[in-house]
Amino acid sequence: MKVKDAITLFRYQQKANLKQRTIYSYNYILKKFETRFEERSIDSISADEIYQFLESFTEGFSKSTRRLRYAQIKTLFNFIIDRCNLNIKNPCSSPLLSKAFRLPAIKSRKTADKEAVDEMIYNTNTMRDRLILELQARCGLRIGELLGLRVSDISNRKILIREPKSGKDSEVAFMPEQIAKRVSEYIKEKGLNSDDRIFPISYSTARTLIMKSGEKINIQISPHDLRGHSATYASRNGVPLEIVSKIILRHHDLKTTQIYLGKVSESEAIRWMDTLHGK
Looking at CATH, the fold of the domain delimited by 114-277 is given as hpI Integrase; Chain A (1.10.443)
Q: What is the pLDDT of residue 245?
A: 80
Domain ranges of the chain: 3-100, 114-277
Residue 208 Cα distances to 34, 109, 126, 194, 199, angstroms? 44, 20, 15, 27, 14
d(CA 113, CA 135): 16
Q: Which CATH architecture has domain 3-100?
A: Orthogonal Bundle (1.10)
Strand 154-155 to 170-174 pairing: unpaired
> DSSP for 159-219?
EEEES-TTSSSEEEEE--HHHHHHHHHHHHHHT--TTSBSS---HHHHHHHHHHHHHTTT-
pLDDT (tens digit per residue) in 205-259: 999 999 999 999 999 899 988 988 888 888 778 788 778 887 788 877 666 666 6
User: Could you say which residues of the chain have pLDDT below 50?
Assistant: none
Largest CA distance in the chain: 71
